[in-house]
A and B are shown apart, each in its own frame.
Chain A
Amino acid sequence: MTAIKSQVDMPRQEPNERIKNFDEVAIGYNAEMALEEASRCLNCPKPQCVKGCPVEVPIPEFIKLIKEGNYISAAKKIKEKNSLPAVCGRVCPQEDQCQKNCVLGIRGDPIAIGRLERFASDWERKYSKIEKQEIQFKGGRVAVIGSGPAGLTVAADLAKLGHKVTIFESLHAAGGVLMYGIPEFRLPKEIVQYEVEYVNSLGVEIKLDSTIGRLATIQELFDDGYDAIFIGSGAGLPNFLIIPGENLKGVYSANEFLIRTNLMKAYKFPEYDTPIRVGKRVGVIGAGNVAMDSARCALRLGAEQSNIIYRRGRDEMPARIEEVENAEEEGIHFEFLTNPIRFIGNSRGFLEKVECIHMKLSEPDSSGRRRPEPIPGSEFTIELDTAIIAIGQSPNPIIQQTTQGLETTRHGTIIVNEDSMETKIPGVFAGGDVVSGAATVISAMGAGKLAAKSMHQYILSKKGILQ
Chain B
Amino acid sequence: MYEIVHKEALSPNIKLIEVKAPAVAKKTKPGQFVIIRIHEKGERFPITISNSNKDEGTIQLIFAEVGKSSILLGKLNEGESILNLAGPLGNATDTKDYGNILCVGGGVMVGALLFQMKVLKGSGNNITTIIGARSKDRLILIDEARKYSDDFYVATDDGSEGRQGIEFLKEILQQKRFDHVFTMGPTSMQKIVSEYTKSYNIPTTVNLFPIMVDGTGMCGACRVTVGNTTRFACVHGPDFDGHQVDFDELISRMRFYNPNEKIAMVLYEGV
Contact = CB atoms under 8 A, between A and B. Distances in A.
A396 B235 CA distance: 10
Interface stretch (B82-90, B110-118, B169-177, B200-208): B82-90
Among B27, B214, B235, B255, residue most surrounded by chain A Cβ atoms (within 10 Å): B214
A362 to B, nearest CB: 29
B218 interface: yes
B23 A397 contact: no
Interface of A: 170-172, 180, 208-211, 214-216, 236-238, 240, 242, 246-247, 249-250, 252-253, 255-256, 259-260, 264-265, 268-277, 348-349, 396-398, 401
B223 A247 contact: yes
22 contacts: A171-B214, A208-B84, A210-B86, A215-B86, A215-B87, A216-B23, A216-B27, A238-B220, A240-B220, A240-B223, A242-B230, A247-B230, A247-B253, A249-B256, A253-B219, A255-B219, A256-B220, A271-B41, A274-B43, A275-B264, A277-B260, A398-B217
A126 B200 CA distance: 70
Contacts of A397: 217, 235
A130 B40 CA distance: 24
A238 B219 contact: yes
B213 interface: yes
Contacts of B88: 214-215
The 7 closest A-B pairs by CB, nearest first: A275-B260, A256-B219, A253-B220, A236-B218, A273-B43, A209-B86, A349-B252
A397 B215 CA distance: 12
Nearest to B220: A253
A349 B84 CA distance: 34
Given A269-B260, A273-B42, A259 B86 contact: no
Nearest to B40: A272
Contact of A396 (B43, B216, B221, B225): B216
Nearest to A389: B220
Interface residues on B, range: 35 or more
Nearest to A258: B219
Interface of B: 23-24, 27, 32, 37, 41-44, 68-69, 83-89, 213-221, 223, 225, 230, 235, 249, 252-253, 255-257, 259-261, 263-264, 267
A297 to B, nearest CB: 15
Q: Identify which of B44, B86, B218 gathers the most chain A CB atoms within 10 Å of its CB.
A: B218
| Interface residues of B, dominant DSSP | mixed
A260 B53 CA distance: 33
A208 B86 CA distance: 8
A210 B88 CA distance: 9
A341 B37 CA distance: 38
Nearest to B249: A247
A219 to B, nearest CB: 13
A237 B252 contact: no
B41 A398 contact: no
A250 B69 CA distance: 23
B257 to A, nearest CB: 5
Given A264-B43, A273-B264, A256 B217 contact: no
